[in-house]
Structure 1
Amino acid sequence: MATQMPRPRPRPAHTPGATHCSYTPNGGQLVTVGSNNTIRLYKTGFDGEPTNIDDCPEQNVGVAATNDFFVVGSEDGTVSLYSLETNAFDKFLLRTSLPIRDLALSPDGQWCAVASDELTVKLVSTEDNTRVRQLKDHGKPAKHLSFDPKGSMIALSCTDGIVYIYSLTADQPELIRKVDGVIAALEADTEVSSKVAWHPDGRAFAVPTPTRDIQVVSKNDWENQRSFANGHEGEITAISWSPNGAMLATAGKDRKLLIWETKTQSVIARHDYANVMDIAWHPKNNLVSFTDAEGSVYICPDFISSQYSILLKLPKQPAPFIHDPLAEVSANTRRLTVNGLKAGPPHPRAGSPDSQDSMLDLDDGGFAEDDDFVVDDDGAGYTLNGATKRPHDDDPFDERPSKRAELFSPQYHEAFQPGSTPWRGNRKYLCLNLIGFVWTVDQDSHHTVTVEFYDHEFQRDFHFTDTFLYDKACLTENGTLFSCPPRDNAPATIFYRPHETWTNRNDWRMQLPKGEAVLSMSLSDSFVTVITSANYVRVYTLFGIPYRVYRPKSTPVVTCASWRDYVLTMGNGPMGADGNTRLLYTIENVKRDEICQNDDTVALPEGASIRSVFFSDNGDPCIYDSTGTLLTLLHWRQPSRASWVPLLDTKLLPRLASGRKNENYFPIAVADNKFHCIILKGGDQYPYFPRPLLSEFDFSIPLTSTPPKEKRSGGEDGEDADDVDASESRRLEQAFMLKRIQAAQLGDLVDSTSSSHSQRTALSRLEIEIDKTLLQMLAIECREGEERGMRALEMVQLMRDQSGKMIEAAGKVAERYGRAILGEKIREIGERRVNGMDEDE
């Protein structure tokens, strides 16, 4: 513990009662208000008498200052604005019918937020007090107010024990979050504090809790992060961050004023001061001021001892996250020399769930405080369209690269683990699929890992204490695979735990070479596949025998997936016109050492990124991208023939047609010809606890913006026959396309493998279903009239039947609707088919 500094003397400033203080942003003056009708202005560095402003209202409960003016709120319901140029009253900003409890100025000084015993919080313009906004979606009076560092949000600590977060980016403020279970329900006039203190980096806030600790809550997901615990023995009355966020000052009813180090959440100084009500750090100097309930003001130069004062000279420090996404950028991130210039790293939000935080809202108050900072919401890295700018000035982790380096720097796709989520608080999902899910909880010294199964008759759940700190996992019917990153001198480790064996269970661990980290891994019925930061693909058998090690052509590597003997790997390829590298994929049969597709391009729209990659239950590769589109790969067993085709565009789902729902979908699997996913509400990107339910959607190829309706026997009230036919036609067209895709995939399987009798039978049945669908489409065309005859004839030509039975059925449909000419042409097609003559000959 550092030696205590000489105790500063109290300065009698006001009569006993509520006393508050605020520094001007330039640090030139300290403004204090109290229960008497005098305001005092203390000039920094001057030890003489302060400047007094008399004849102000009494019982002042809050003060906030800019460099030009300051505002004061009093219990009589008035908010007054005073000029610092004249040191005199300027004007009344607002009057409330009930006592004021707190006020705050926006960072730009243009708005003053006022909380009173009224249910409504008012925002009044400091330039034009006729401009007033109202916050009224909270249920109880607000006790405290706090703007975030960018002024885009305001936090209300209400008397009901809930923190209400409003967005101020629109003309009408919008309630975007209720943070419950953190602060206590307090009376509005109590000295105990529940005030939100935003960390200077804007990504989190600290707030006193009923347990006398200080809890940090992240703005990204509103989950608890680190806490400052076991410091106070009494209720907390004041809280304030140092200007760079490196330290936190708190005071409590235990007559203690504590200084905490943010990085370690440990107390570095203890001071004995009773009844402290407000704490203000000088913006630049080692100077802390505070006020107490006796009306005294303490101005304390060199308050932080020399042992820790160096912390005040650091650049802006990060908020204390349990898992800070800025500090956990994937090992795939690298600095490259581009045209002789050092390129900056990819955007910290771009990439894997392990390197994202669902992600960082840097645009709403992160390290980059410029209004023109562009956030890469799709996870593909910065767009280089001239409007994009790099974060700078306050970024503690990076130097600002030159604009020329930005222009020529390729933006890499970061590595990610399919089916996992980023840390949210102290929890994350390591794996989510149709077998079950694996999740972990950070307990500081260790993790606790839980593996749960959907089918408990198939396997029992289990959990264990994890001292290796696993951060990735894969789950199959055969076993569970884990990996942990390298730490200190310990190398990265792979751990496989089979579920059942006919001998004693044979777990195994494999250590990677020192310094090599696991970027992504997959587990199939045959192999364990691991891609690493050294750009290696390492393949093991299920019981730990090294099978293959190779370096893929497309690097840096991004992700992998596997099914039986097949392994799909993805990596970064050449840079495209938008400045992002193109994703390339390779599929090979590891056991047969055969390449199916070699560095082919992943079909993505400009600016889009991959959210997940997996094999379907039938063994066909699938991807889900940031545009909400599910695609599968056709003809992937035939070199140079593969093509990505869409199976579902979630933006066109009927449930979103009204535009009232705000949903995202976390991909899980493709099985039973359905898309299995987790529905995420309210703009969330990743699922959280408690365990979410799985949902499934039928495939719907994006053919039109009007979704196909279910088949009906007739029109409903108000719907004519043409509408029914049009709807039925769209449904049949959708079925025709989907069955053709299924037939193509099953046909490739039959042609390329030693197919079974059931597979060949299923293909024949599927081809018959395609012809039946065309037959139903033909009937609709015949009902439309003779002018649709050419379209109807084309449907007959698309039929796959070579025996002539379906052609004959088509002729009978034409005959039924009296389409004689069409029937004649259909018979001609049938004769050519029977005679073995192709229409193209």
Structure 2
Amino acid sequence: MAARLRGRPAHAPGPTYLSYTPNGKKLITVGVNGALRVFQHGSDNEPAIIDVLTDGHTAVASTNDFIVVGAEDGSVTKYSLLTNSMEEILVRCSLPVRDVSLSKDGEWVAVASDELAVKVVNTRDMTRIMHLRDQSRPVKHVSFDVSGSTLAVSCTDGIVYMYSLSSEQPQLIKRVDGLIKTLETDAEANAKVAWHPDGRAFAAPTATRDFQCVARSDWQRQKAFSGGHRADISAAAWSPNGALLATAGVDKSLCIWETRSQRLLKSYDDVQNTILAIDWHPTDNVCSYTNNNGELFIREDFVPGEHAKHLRIALQPSPMNNDPLSEISGNARKQLSNGDKPNGVRRSAEDQYLDDLLGPDAMSEDEMDFIEDDDGAGYAEEMNHVGKRSAVTDAGRPAKRHAPFAAWKPQIHEAFQPGSTPWRGDRRYLCLNMTGFVWTVNQDTHHTVTVEFHDRQEHRDFHFTDPYKYDKASLNEKGTLFSCRPSTQTQQRAILYYRPHETWTTRTDWRTQLPAGEEVTSMSLSESCIVATTSKGYVRIYSLFGLPLKVYRQKSMPAVTCASWRDYVMTVGNGPVDGDGTTRMLYTVDNVRRDELCQSEDVVALREGTELRNIFFSDKGDPCIYDTEGVLLILLHWRTPGQAKWVPLLDTKTMDRLASGRKDETYWPVAVANNKFHCIILKGGDVYPHFPRPLLVDFDFKIPVSSFPAGGVEDEDKDVAQQRNLEEQYVRASLQHALASDLVDSTNSTSAQRAEVPVLERDVDKALLQLLAAECREGEERGMKALEIASLMRDRTGKMLEAAGKIAARFQRDILGEKITQLAERRLVGLVDEEDM
């Protein structure tokens, strides 16, 4: 079907701009006159009109519920799409606004104006505002990346300024020079950064009329779209899946490009005026654009039929120079239904590209043929559904086969309850931790629940009949928390049930129902609160006596899991989509008592292809995760916003018991307590523990600093192994000291906790003394490293440096001893610095 051009006089003649809502239901246009127009997608009815007091509108950005409009009078106004009325003026600039950009979650709007500073305003609380001031000239364009944590600022000085907005104080992270040309703020030529949907790269128009891609990892230029325009580019937009690119030029040109090959697929020659804004519909083969004459054009079947299949494939990767090419030989394999290779290895986005184009009815390996019928002569006959040659039409062309395409959806991480296992027969564990076990038995009409404790002198086991069929539980020293799903048969809503172990009054259990249509996806129980994440994206927090304390919506959705410790709550949810189509998990740590965010929407550090197995707080209150690769990680500096980092405590695959290869076992994580990793050993390929009740074992931490030969090696290899052990002890002692220092500095610590810090500091210095002795044993040529080790000692009294000097004297390292003495003297008078090395 030929593309049907639909031109509409949306506004008075002049610059006009547009924006689709993320759900594609509405299209909003703004222009020079004092009215905003809201078009319904797929409807020929007249658009709704929002009458406003301002005119000369220069920019628009939209969510499903509201739009933000910038104007020449310097105002940035928020309008409701639910009531088609003005809500509030978010911010005023002293000079004309040139561009606005909304973060994906709609929380923040960036404003570019003829002022030197860029303003980033919270759309819910306009008093929360950030100023980006590193530009020396006015800004023409702003653009949020897909995660909303990075903002690209295209300045009229020809530099793209990249800001990180992941903390309260914005940070300039890069000046990208030589990419865009210098422009005036009112020029029709465009310099706006367009982030690719996979988030790995961005692109912008260049002075040579190309559309150049740049990798965000190293800021290096990648592939470019060249030769489509004879004048400056005036607008550009990626298709929703990143497979196609639309660009327009001041020369009244309009082009469609294929992302993977940078090939020009189509060039339209019916454009009458300069296009200033382009936007793709989120799901349909429709692209709309506005021009400098007040007109709106809605192009249906925008991508020609022979190329429309590009819109129906999965998210495609950015056009990068170093990405591997997909298989194009007869060895290419048909894509499996789950998107994996036959051996279970996940296919890359490039590998899936060809499979998605061929569709689910792709030909077999032996019959794979990639001869293209470029001139339509008919020699490249098409395969039919059974892999045989299809009939040729009278026109000499192969008969067209319409391959069905499924709608693409990102691969999200499913929600799970920490410490629970799936059904095995008619039994499953609802909770496994250091306090005890909660398990249930399916009796068809009801369940029976048993709670057993490790310390039976402290608590009594109990057992009860469960008509609600609880499917989640959380257990600690104070009580047991249960939840059940809603039932359509009995019209029963989701329930939270808390049963305290002991109280100084009569023990009072309590239950609360969630609103209709909402169920618990994960929950957690701490010493002071109860936390539940729900299917509607809410985080519900209750006191231990059932009083609702807080309800808020999680930013990263759908929710994955949660954990809590005292007043701290950690929630994990699905974030932006990576290049392989899998969502990235983000976590937030919140102090619900003080209503303070410790970490907000930071990344859960998992390697590609691994999954989160468990999440919990250690006995000292530090967040921990355990992944399917068998790595235990702890969160360091998590009480300081923006400073958190995941540090490995133990890689179970490197433990001595597995080094010989004779043991085939994995580990089910339970807790981090008493400076040990507590777990359940799984044998025989088991993934989950099962009945009878397993025993808990514990392993010492061993940070994977480096590898070294196991037992049974020669003497010199044993010395190397001892050296590596000492290095690991130093790194581990430093980590434990940092965790203890964070606790003391950030909380109302106890005297025991404060006393632990100097003890851990001495452990660090002891490990350094042992390393120093090992270096002195090697000879005088290792003296510089020995002095470096001595300078790392933390003791300020001089006792440890004195001991270091004695070690040097014992091994007759006189020069080293003199250097250490000088270091001790300078440290005592506060003159030591990095040059002492």
Q: TM-score range by the shorter chain?
A: 0.5 to 0.7
Q: CA 1:446 to 1:740, structure 2 compared with 1: closer, same or farther past 3 Å?
A: same
Query: Where in structure 2 are the equivalents of 1:446-465 lying within 5 Å?
Result: 446-465=446-465
The aligned residue for residue 811 of structure 1 is 805
- 1:316-335 Cα offsets, whole Å, 9 max, x none, are xxxxxxxxxxxxxxxxxxxx
Deviation at 1:726, TM superposition (A): 2.1
Q: CA 1:678 to 1:466, structure 2 compared with 1: closer, same or farther past 3 Å?
A: same
Q: CA 1:385 to 1:499, structure 2 compared with 1: closer, same or farther past 3 Å?
A: farther
Q: CA 1:510 to 1:372, structure 2 compared with 1: closer, same or farther past 3 Å?
A: closer
Q: What is the alpha-carbon distance in structure 1 between the residues aligned to residue 404 and residue 351 of structure 2? A: 10
Task: Say if 2:351 is the partner of 1:386.
Answer: yes
Q: What is the alpha-carbon distance in structure 1 between the residues aligned to residue 601 and residue 448 of structure 2? A: 39
The aligned residue for residue 747 of structure 2 is 753
Give the counterpart letter for 1:754 in structure 2. N
Deviation at 1:628, TM superposition (A): 1.1
Q: Which of these residues, 819, 823, 832, is aligned with residue 838 of structure 1?
A: 832
Q: What is the alpha-carbon distance in structure 2 between the residues aligned to residue 626 and residue 587 of structure 1? A: 23
- 1:723-773 Cα offsets, whole Å, 9 max, x none, are 443222222111111111111111111111122222111101110111011
Give the counterpart letter for 2:761 in structure 1. E
The aligned residue for residue 520 of structure 2 is 518
Q: Does the 8 Å contact 2:586/2:603 carry over to 1?
A: yes
Q: What is the alpha-carbon distance in structure 2 between the residues aligned to residue 541 and residue 343 of structure 1? A: 47
Query: Which runs of 5 or more structure 2 residues have no equivalent in the other structure?
Result: 1-280, 286-310, 316-334, 362-401
Q: Does the 8 Å contact 2:619/2:674 carry over to 1?
A: yes
Q: CA 1:375 to 1:571, structure 2 compared with 1: closer, same or farther past 3 Å?
A: farther
Query: Where in structure 2 are the equivalents of 1:196-595 lying within 5 Å?
Result: 374=341, 384=349, 386=351, 409-488=409-488, 489-595=491-597
Q: What is the alpha-carbon distance in structure 1 between the residues aligned to residue 338 and residue 558 of structure 2? A: 32
Deviation at 1:370, TM superposition (A): 8.1
Give the counterpart letter for 1:470 in structure 2. Y
Q: What is the alpha-carbon distance in structure 2 between the residues aligned to residue 522 and residue 840 of structure 1? A: 47
Q: Please, what TM-score do these two structures have when normalized by structure 2?
A: 0.53
Q: What is the alpha-carbon distance in structure 2 between the residues aligned to residue 498 and residue 752 of structure 1? A: 30
Q: Does the 8 Å contact 1:616/1:669 carry over to 2?
A: yes
Query: Where in structure 2 are the equivalents of 1:690-709 lying within 5 Å?
Result: 690-706=692-708
The aligned residue for residue 683 of structure 1 is 685
Deviation at 1:706, TM superposition (A): 2.8
Q: What is the alpha-carbon distance in structure 1 between the residues aligned to residue 338 and residue 464 of structure 2? A: 46
Deviation at 1:658, TM superposition (A): 2.0
Q: Does the 8 Å contact 1:337/1:343 carry over to 2?
A: no
Q: What is the alpha-carbon distance in structure 2 between the residues aligned to residue 621 and residue 372 of structure 1? A: 33
- 1:372-429 Cα offsets, whole Å, 9 max, x none, are 9647979xx9864536989989xxxxxxx988657x5321111110100011111110
The aligned residue for residue 355 of structure 1 is none
The aligned residue for residue 726 of structure 1 is 720
Q: What is the alpha-carbon distance in structure 1 between the residues aligned to residue 453 and residue 403 of structure 2? A: 51
Q: What is the alpha-carbon distance in structure 2 between the residues aligned to residue 517 and residue 375 of structure 1? A: 36
Give the counterpart letter for 1:688 in structure 2. H
Q: Does the 8 Å contact 2:560/2:573 carry over to 1?
A: yes
Give the counterpart letter for 2:533 in structure 1. I
Q: What is the alpha-carbon distance in structure 2 between the residues aligned to residue 586 and residue 443 of structure 1? A: 39
Deviation at 1:671, TM superposition (A): 0.5
Give the counterpart letter for 1:474 in structure 2. S
Q: What is the alpha-carbon distance in structure 2 between the residues aligned to residue 751 and residue 824 of structure 1? A: 36
Q: Does the 8 Å contact 1:666/1:678 carry over to 2?
A: yes
Query: Where in structure 2 are the equivalents of 1:88-99 lying within 5 Å?
Result: none
Q: Which of these residues, 797, 813, 819, is aligned with residue 791 of structure 2?
A: 797
Q: Does the 8 Å contact 2:422/2:428 carry over to 1?
A: yes
Q: Does the 8 Å contact 1:663/1:683 carry over to 2?
A: yes
SS of structure 1 residue aligned to 2:448: strand
SS of structure 1 residue aligned to 2:742: helix
Give the counterpart letter for 1:414 in structure 2. E
Q: CA 1:372 to 1:478, structure 2 compared with 1: closer, same or farther past 3 Å?
A: closer
Q: CA 1:517 to 1:376, structure 2 compared with 1: closer, same or farther past 3 Å?
A: farther
Q: CA 1:376 to 1:524, structure 2 compared with 1: closer, same or farther past 3 Å?
A: farther
Task: Say if 2:783 is the partner of 1:783.
Answer: no
The aligned residue for residue 647 of structure 1 is 649
Q: What is the alpha-carbon distance in structure 2 between the residues aligned to residue 785 and residue 796 of structure 1? A: 16
Give the counterpart letter for 2:554 in structure 1. P
Q: Does the 8 Å contact 1:615/1:621 carry over to 2?
A: yes
Q: Does the 8 Å contact 1:678/1:687 carry over to 2?
A: yes
Aligned-CA RMSD value? 2.9
Task: Say if 2:644 is the partner of 1:636.
Answer: no
Report the count of equivalent residues: 466
Q: What is the alpha-carbon distance in structure 2 between the residues aligned to residue 671 and residue 499 of structure 1? A: 22
Q: Which of these residues, 604, 614, 629, is aligned with residue 602 of structure 1?
A: 604
Query: Where in structure 2 are the equivalents of 1:111-126 lying within 5 Å?
Result: none
The aligned residue for residue 232 of structure 1 is none
Q: Does the 8 Å contact 1:539/1:547 carry over to 2?
A: yes
Q: CA 1:540 to 1:392, structure 2 compared with 1: closer, same or farther past 3 Å?
A: farther
Deviation at 1:661, TM superposition (A): 2.4
Query: Where in structure 2 are the equivalents of 1:73-84 lying within 5 Å?
Result: none
Q: Does the 8 Å contact 1:708/1:734 carry over to 2?
A: no
Deviation at 1:556, TM superposition (A): 1.1
Deviation at 1:578, TM superposition (A): 2.1
Task: Say if 2:821 is the partner of 1:821.
Answer: no
Q: Does the 8 Å contact 2:336/2:342 carry over to 1?
A: no
SS of structure 2 residue aligned to 1:678: strand
Q: CA 1:741 to 1:729, structure 2 compared with 1: closer, same or farther past 3 Å?
A: same
Give the counterpart letter for 2:427 in structure 1. R
SS of structure 2 residue aligned to 1:690: coil
Task: Say if 2:728 is the partner of 1:762.
Answer: no
Q: What is the alpha-carbon distance in structure 1 between the residues aligned to residue 582 and residue 765 of structure 2? A: 44
Q: CA 1:794 to 1:550, structure 2 compared with 1: closer, same or farther past 3 Å?
A: same
Q: Does the 8 Å contact 1:526/1:542 carry over to 2?
A: yes
Bigger Rg, which one: 1
Q: Does the 8 Å contact 1:725/1:780 carry over to 2?
A: no
Give the counterpart letter for 1:440 in structure 2. T
The aligned residue for residue 231 of structure 1 is none
Q: CA 1:338 to 1:467, structure 2 compared with 1: closer, same or farther past 3 Å?
A: farther
Query: Where in structure 2 are the equivalents of 1:654-665 lying within 5 Å?
Result: 654-665=656-667
Deviation at 1:344, TM superposition (A): 10
Deviation at 1:687, TM superposition (A): 0.6
SS of structure 2 residue aligned to 1:790: helix
SS of structure 1 residue aligned to 2:413: coil
Q: What is the alpha-carbon distance in structure 2 between the residues aligned to residue 598 and residue 549 of structure 1? A: 17
Q: CA 1:402 to 1:551, structure 2 compared with 1: closer, same or farther past 3 Å?
A: farther
Query: Where in structure 2 are the equivalents of 1:121-136 lying within 5 Å?
Result: none
Q: Does the 8 Å contact 1:383/1:580 carry over to 2?
A: no
Between the aligned residues of both structures, percent identity stands at 59
Q: Does the 8 Å contact 1:803/1:833 carry over to 2?
A: no
